[in-house]
Every structure is written in structure tokens, then in C-alpha cells.
Amino acid sequence: GPLTHSYTYCSPKPHDSNMGEAYVLGVDEAGRGPVLGPMVYGVCYCPLSKYKEVSTLGFVDSKTLKETDREAHFTLIQSRSDIIGWSVRVLSPQDISWNMLNKSKYNLNAQAHDATINLIREVLSMGINLREIYVDTVGPPESYQKKLLTLFPSIDVTVSKQADSKYPIVSAASICAKVTRDHTMKRWAFVEKVNTSRIFGSGYPSDPNTMAWLKSNIDYVFGYPRIIRFSWATCGTILEKEAALVKWPSDDSSSQAINSLLQGHDYKHKSKFFEDMKSVNDF
């Protein structure tokens, strides 16, 4: 069905996990910058005793791989469920927009941090003894690392720029996040009953295909389908130029009603999207 709410998916913990065995976990994201579609955070984890073996599987930063190679790596991750576990947090464009446009601002960095923290907590709640965590970041690593160390004082946390190219466990997490986003976009079900083009490119404002899609799929009254992140400046600029000017009543009740239309809810479920897949080709 349509992606209208954010959700979390967690794979079963590795089959060969022993009670109390030390684990290493990596964190990375996909889709932070696009004007459309979800932002996906992924984690991948394995026993520290197996990390050398996992490192020989050839995982690299997903951005350096062709789509078919990413899918092959993701299939490999699934096939090694004896020693590898993974989870993703899929933040819907509706939730991203509502959080950023709400009166009490909840910016993208805060949403990203909370997605990471919640994924780590989910893994810990499964009884996994995390001893080392490696996190990729696009912002200042020092303050973020301090925040995570405060929340998880018994775990050795390293936050680093380009961690997805330095640490194989982060590379594996980047593959989980990127493949999840790619297939979410491919399978996107438009709620709006309109004939909308699916040739929206990568979603980044720098992509000519994305900008062409934005210009040719705007509705004069309603703007864009819910795949769009309305909080992005790119979207706002085009709407101001090409769409109808709307003046809202200024009373609080009207503002609350408008916000309620955008607001999503936090769902955690075993999505059929993941439960049914035996390999990436089943997406």
C-alpha cells in the first residue's frame, strides 16, 4: 500500500548469536537530500568475533555501487543471517514535512538523530550486547558522538564523516538503507487519483529529471502528490511561482486542522514489503 506513515523493520537477530556475545553495529542513511520520497536510516550488526569474516564479504559504500551490485550485496547480507542482523527506519515524506513545518520545529538533523537512537535501542531490546557502534554523519561528528555516548555510556561509539567508506559494517548499513529507499521509490503507490509520471529521477534538486518532474507534475490548486517533501525550499519556490496563492484564516483552530492533515504517526510493524522477500528480486 501507500507509504503514508514512518515505520521500522527489524530482521531477526543472527541465528548463531550467543547470550552475552559482544557485537559491533554500523549506522548510515539514504535519501537525506532529495526533495521527494522517504529518508531511510539503516543499521547492520554482527558479532565482533565475526567482524573480520564480514569484512571479507566486500561491502563498500553504497554510493559507489551500481544498482545491480547494491542489490547483490543486499542479497548477500540476507543470506548471512547466521551472523548478520539489520534494521531500517523509513521516514515518510509526509512525516518529514509535518515535523519541519510544525510550529514547534523538529528539524532534519533531530529527526535523523532520533531515527538512529531508536534503531540502536531496538537492537539492544532484542538482547544484542552492543560493544562498538560506528556512525556515518554529514554534520559535526564531535557533538553527535558526545550525545550518543551520553545515551549509551557502556558502548564505544565512533561518529565519523565518510564512515561508510571506512568501516565495512557501516558500508553494509548503507546498502540496507539505499536498497530500501530505491525499492520504496520503485513501488511507490500514489494516493492521489491522478495520472502521475514516475520518471522523477534521483529526487535530488540537482537532477534534471527531478526538476523536469517537479515542473510538469504540479497541480495549480493542490500542488504536489504526497511523495513530495513540502518543507524543501525547492518545492516552496516552485509552488510560489506556479501554484495558486492560498490565504489561510489565522485562528489557531484552522492552523491545527491544517497540521492534522499533514501529521503522520509512528508505526512499527513487520511490513509485508520485507516479510515476503527471500531475495532482493522479490521486492
8 A C-beta contact, residue 187 and residue 90: no
pTM for the full predicted model: 0.85
Nearest to 162 by CA among 134, 142, 183: 134
8 A C-beta contact, residue 7 and residue 268: yes
8 A C-beta contact, residue 172 and residue 84: yes
Answer yes or no: is 29 a known binding residue: yes
Nearest to 171 by CA among 236, 258, 108, 86: 86
Give the helix/strand (H/E) hosting 260.
helix 252-262
Give the range among 18-22, 50-54, 86-90, 266-270 with minimum mean pLDDT. 266-270
Residues 209-256: tens digit of each pLDDT: 999 999 999 998 989 999 999 999 999 999 999 999 887 776 555 455
8 A C-beta contact, residue 92 and residue 3: yes
Report the pLDDT averaged over residues 105-134: 96
Higher pLDDT, 18 or 228: 228
Cα(87)–Cα(172) distance, rounded to whole angstroms? 11
Per-residue CA distances from 273 to 188, 234, 277 (Å): 12, 30, 7
Q: What pLDDT does residue 247 have?
A: 79
Report the pLDDT averaged over residues 110-134: 97
Residues 146-190: tens digit of each pLDDT: 999 999 999 999 999 999 999 999 999 999 999 999 999 999 998
Average pLDDT of the chain to the nearest whole number = 89
Domains and CATH numbers, the chain: 1-278 (3.30.420.10)
Is the predicted pLDDT of residue 208 greater than 70, yes or no? Answer: yes
Answer yes or no: is 136 a known binding residue: yes
CB neighbour list of residue 67: distance below 8 Å, 6 or more residues apart: 182
For cell 493542490, the residue is: 222
Answer yes or no: is 28 a known binding residue: yes
